[in-house]
Structure 1
Amino acid sequence: MTPPAQERESVLSPAYLATTLGTFAVIVLVAFENLAVTTIMPTLTAELDGRHLYALGFAAPLASGVVGMVAAGMVSDRRGPGMPLLVALSVFAAGLLLAGVAPSMEVFVAGRVLQGLGGGAATVVLYVVIGLIYPSRLQASVFASLAAAWVLPSLFGPAVAAVIAEAVGWRWVFLGTVALVAVVSLALTRRALGLPRPTEQPERAAYGPLVWAVVAAAAVLGVRLVGDRLVLALVCAVVVLYALTHLVPKGSLRLAEGLPSVIATRGFLAGSFFMAEGYVVLTLEERWGLTPTVAGLALSAVGVVWALASWTQARARRLAHTRAMTTGSGLIVLGLSLLTACIWWELNPWIAGAVYVVAGAGMGFGYPRTGVAMLQASSDRDRGFNSAALNAADSMGGALSLALAGLVFSTVEKAGGDPFTAVYTFASVIAVVSVVSAARTAAHGTPEGV
C-alpha cells in the first residue's frame, strides 16, 4: 500500500520540480525548432539560394536523429544518462549556432544534421532519466507533460518564428534559442550527472543497430545530394529501406500482420503527413501570396486539432486500436486529397488550410494508438527494441518521404509541371498505403482494446 505522503506527491513536488521543468523545456525547444523551420524555410532558402535543398532541410534532422537515438541509448545503458544528455544538448546547440550563421544552404543543412543528432539523442536520454528519477506512479504524468510540451510550440511556434523572421531576420530564430538551450542544459544535466551508473552492464556492445542507423541516415541524405540522377537517388532509397529492415521487426516492410504493420503504419503516417507539413507554408506563400505569419496559422490550427483528436481517441477506451489507426489514416487521405484538389484548381487559400487541418485530425486520432498498440504487443524481452523500432520508422518514414518529395518537386518543376500538385499527390498515395497497413495491425497478437 502506498503511504499517504507518497500519494500526495506529484511531478511538481520539490523533489521532482527541477527535473520536470527541465525535461519539459528540452522538449519544447526541440519541438519549437522543428515547427519554426517550417515557417521560415521559404524565406531562408530564398536568401541562401537553396531551393534545390529545400526538402533536405527537413529530412536531414529526421535522418540524423535516428543515429542520435541509437547512440544515446547504447551509451546510457553503459554509463548512465548524465554525460549523454550533456553531449546531446551541446550538439543540439552547436547545430542551432551553425544554422544561424550559415553562409550557404549546404552549411545550413549541416547545422540541421547536428540539430537532429542532438535532439534525437536528448529525447531518448530523457526517457532514461524519467525511468530513473520518477516512481512508476508518476511516470504517466511525466509523459502527459511531454505531450503538452509538443502542443504548445504547435500553437505559438509558427507565429513566433514568423514575427522574429520579419522583425530581425530568420537567423535569430536559431541564434536566439542557443542561450535557452545552455540554461536548460546546466539545470537538467546537473541532476542527471548525479545519477548512478547502471549496475548491470550489457554483456557486449551491440554496434549493429548503430551501423545500420548511420547507413540509413547517409542514404536518406544521398537521395537529394545526388541531384537529378534519378537512378542513383532510387538506389539510395533502396539502401534506406534495406538498412531499416535491421532496425524494425521482421516483416514490417512487407506489412506482415500484427506488430510489424503497427510499426509500418507509424512510418507511413509520418511519411505522408510530415511531407505535407514541410511544403504547406511554401505552397500557401507561392500559390496564394500569403505572408509567413498568415501561412503559419495553418500549422497552429493543426496543432490545436491534433491535440483535440488525441484527447478524443484517448477517451474512447472501447475503440479498438486497428479502428483508431484506420480512421486516422483515412482522415489523412481525405485531407491531403482535398488539399491536392485545392492546389490544382487554385481554390480559396482558407479552404486549403481547412482541409489540411483535417489531415491533422487524422494524425491526432491514429498516431498515438501506434505507440499504445506497440507496447501492448511487447514483452519485457522486446519492449526496448520495439520502442526504438517505432521511433526509427517514424523518423525514417518522414526523412525518406521528404527527400523523395524534393526529388519529385525539382523533377516536375524542371519539366514545366505543377510541383506542388505532384508533391501532395505523392503524399496522398503514401497516406493510402497507411490505411492498408493499419488494417493489417489486428491479427497475430496485437491487442484490439485499450
Structure 2
Amino acid sequence: MEIVERSPGVLAPQWRLTSIGIAVSISLFAFEGLAVATAMPSAVRELRGLAFFGWSYSAFLVMNLVGLGAAGQWCDRVGPRRPLLTGIAVFTAGLLVAGTAVNMVVFVLGRSAQGIGVGLASTAVFKLVATAYPPELRPRALAIISAAYVVPALVGPVLSGTITAHVGWRWVFLGLVPLALACGGALLRALRMSAAPEGTSAGGFRKPLFALLAGGGVVVLQAGGNAVVAGRTPLTVLLLGAGLLALVAGLRELLPRGSTRLRRGVPAVIAVRGLLAGAFYAVESVVPLSLATLHGFGTAAAGLPLLAGSIGWWAGAQAQGRITKVTRPSLLRWGLVALACCFVGMAALCLEGAPGWPVYLLWIVGGLGMGVSVPTTGVLVLEQSAEDETGANSSALQISDVTAAGLGTSAAGVLVGATEAGHLGFGAGMGVLGVVAAAVCAAAAAGASRTARAGEGTAVG
C-alpha cells in the first residue's frame, strides 16, 4: 500500500468552485437531516401534531426515493444541470414550507418536498463528478461528499439546538434558505461547462412511481414489525406481506438486474452498498440508547461515539482518495472487514459486566470502514458505467443505500420495541443486532471481489 499526493487536486483553480459547491450542498442536506431531530419536539408541541410525528421522517424517506428514481434517467438524458438546480429549488421550497407551517400536515408536505429535492440533487452531484472531474480525481471528489457529512455531525445538533432554544425551531429551516440559493449559484459555472447530451425529457414517471412503491413498502414493513411486537397476528401477516411485495416490486424496477445475486460489476457494487448501509445505520441508531441503558452513560457521553464515528468516516474518506497500488474491490473488502470487527465488538459490549468506554474506539473503526467503503462504491460505479448510464447507476446506488438504511433502522426500532415489551432482554437484543450486522458485512466482504468487471482488478488511481 502506497500513499501519494497528486497535483493538481480537487481544489485547483479549475475545480475549486465546483468542489466548494458540492461540499456546501451535501453539508446542507446533512445538516437539515440532523436538525430535524433537534427541532421536532418543539415543532410538534407548537403545531399540536404528535400523531404525525413519525410521518415527518417517513415522508422524507419515501419522497427521497422518488427523487432518486426520477433523477437517474433525467441526468443521463439532459446532463446534471437541470436536475441539480431543480433539486436545490425543490429542497429550498420544502424548507420554506416547513419553516412557515401552520399545522403538521403542512410541515409533512414540506418534509416531502425536501426529500424529493435531496434525491434529485444528490444524484445530479454524482453525475457532475463524472462529467466535471478527470477519472484520477474522482475518488477525491467523492471523498468531498463523504467528508461533507462530518461538519454537520460535529456542530449540527448543538447549532440547531441553540437556534431552536433562542430563536425558534422555524429558523432551523428558514435559516438554510440563503445558503441553499448560494450553493446553486456556486455550482452554476461548473454546470454550464458540463456537456449536456441530446434530449429534453425527464424520462417519464415510471421509475418515480416504482420508487414510491418501494418507499411505501419500507414504511408498511416497519408497521408490520410494530404489529409483531404488539402481538396482532392477522394484521402482522397482512402488513408484512403487502410491504414485502411492494418493496420487491419497486426494487426490481429500480436496481440493475442481478443485484440480488451479486452479479459481477455494477449490480454487485449496488448490492454491497445496500448491505453495508443497512448494517451500519441499524447499529448506529441504537448506540446512544445502548450506552444509556446498559452502561448508565449520560446524554452527552452516550452521543459522543457518533462524533467519533464521523471523524473516523472523514479519515477513511480522505485515505481512500490517496491510496494507490491496491485494487478498489480489495479496498472495499478491508472497509467491510473493519465494519464487521466494529459490530462484533459492539455485540461483546452488550454482555453483562462489559465496560462501555471501548465503544468510542470501536465506532472510530466503524466510521473508518464507512469512510473507505462508501466513496469506493461510488468510484466503482462511475468507472464501470458508460457515459449515458452514470446517472441511472448512481441513482440505483443511492436507492440501495437509502432503502437499506430505512430497513435497517426500522428493524432496530422493532427490536428495541420487543425488548420494551419484555420479549427479550435489552442486552440480548442489542447483542443479536450486532452479530447480525457483523454477519451481513462479512458476507458483503466475501462478495467484494465481484464488484470488479470480469477480468479486471479495477486499480485505485
User: If the TM-score is normalised by the length of the shorter chain, which range does it land in?
Assistant: 0.7 to 0.9
Q: Are 1:70 and 1:209, in contact at CA under 8 Å, matched by a contact in 2?
A: yes
Kindly report which structure 2 residues correspond to 1:91-240, keeping only aligned pairs within 5 A, or say none: 91-97=90-96, 111-128=110-127, 134=132, 136=134, 140=138, 142-164=141-163, 172-185=171-184, 187-188=185-186, 198=196, 200-201=198-199, 205=203, 207-225=205-223, 227-228=226-227, 229-235=235-241, 236-240=243-247
Q: Give the superposition deviation at 1:265.
A: 0.9
Q: Of 321, 328, 334, which residue of structure 1 is paired with 2:341?
A: 334
Residue in 2 that maps onto 1:445: 454
Q: Give the superposition deviation at 1:429.
A: 1.2
Aligned partner of 2:255: which letter?
V
Hey, what's the Cα distance between the residues in 1 that align with 2:375 and 2:194?
32
Q: Are 1:250 and 1:260, in contact at CA under 8 Å, matched by a contact in 2?
A: yes
Hey, what's the Cα distance between the residues in 1 that align with 2:439 and 2:382?
25
Residue in 2 that maps onto 1:253: 260
Q: Are 1:66 and 1:117, in contact at CA under 8 Å, matched by a contact in 2?
A: yes
Structure 2 CA distance for partners of 1:349 and 1:384, relative to 1, 3 Å: same
Residue in 1 that maps onto 2:280: 273
* TM-score after normalising by structure 2: 0.77
Hey, what's the Cα distance between the residues in 2 that align with 1:286 and 1:424?
13
Hey, what's the Cα distance between the residues in 2 that align with 1:59 and 1:338?
31
Hey, what's the Cα distance between the residues in 1 that align with 2:26 and 2:244?
30
Q: Does 1:393 align with 2:400?
A: yes
Aligned partner of 2:60: which letter?
P
String of CA shifts for 1:117-163, please: whole Å, max 9, x gaps. Answer: 2112112233455666x464896465454443233323333443455
Residue in 2 that maps onto 1:353: 360
Hey, what's the Cα distance between the residues in 2 that align with 1:425 and 1:103?
43
Structure 2 CA distance for partners of 1:441 and 1:329, relative to 1, 3 Å: closer
Structure 2 CA distance for partners of 1:313 and 1:20, relative to 1, 3 Å: closer
Deviates more, 1:220-229 or 1:136-145: 136-145
Residue in 1 that maps onto 2:26: 27
Structure 2 CA distance for partners of 1:232 and 1:356, relative to 1, 3 Å: farther
String of CA shifts for 1:91-140, please: whole Å, max 9, x gaps. Answer: 323444555577888876654433222112112233455666x4648964
Hey, what's the Cα distance between the residues in 2 that align with 1:41 and 1:289?
25
Structure 2 CA distance for partners of 1:292 and 1:173, relative to 1, 3 Å: farther
Q: Does 1:367 align with 2:374?
A: yes
Hey, what's the Cα distance between the residues in 2 that align with 1:162 and 1:288?
26
String of CA shifts for 1:266-312, please: whole Å, max 9, x gaps. Answer: 00101111122233334445555655544442222111111222333
Q: Give the superposition deviation at 1:179.
A: 4.3
Q: Are 1:27 and 1:123, in contact at CA under 8 Å, matched by a contact in 2?
A: yes
Aligned partner of 1:215: which letter?
L
Structure 2 CA distance for partners of 1:97 and 1:210, relative to 1, 3 Å: same
Structure 2 CA distance for partners of 1:64 and 1:278, relative to 1, 3 Å: farther
String of CA shifts for 1:335-374, please: whole Å, max 9, x gaps. Answer: 2232233245374443333323322222123333222333
Work out the percentage of aligned pairs sharing the same amino acid.
32
Residue in 2 that maps onto 1:3: none
Aligned partner of 2:238: which letter?
L
Residue in 1 that maps onto 2:410: 403
Q: Give the superposition deviation at 1:191.
A: 5.6
Structure 2 CA distance for partners of 1:69 and 1:447, relative to 1, 3 Å: same
Hey, what's the Cα distance between the residues in 1 that align with 2:445 and 2:39?
34
Q: Are 1:209 and 1:246, in contact at CA under 8 Å, matched by a contact in 2?
A: yes
Q: Are 1:310 and 1:365, in contact at CA under 8 Å, matched by a contact in 2?
A: yes
Which runs of no fewer than 5 residues in structure 2 stay unpaired? 1-6, 228-234
Q: Are 2:282 and 2:411, in contact at CA under 8 Å, matched by a contact in 1?
A: no
Question: What SS is found at the alignment partner of 2:176?
Answer: helix
Hey, what's the Cα distance between the residues in 2 that align with 1:176 and 1:100?
9
String of CA shifts for 1:204-225, please: whole Å, max 9, x gaps. Answer: 9454322221211122222235
Residue in 2 that maps onto 1:323: 330
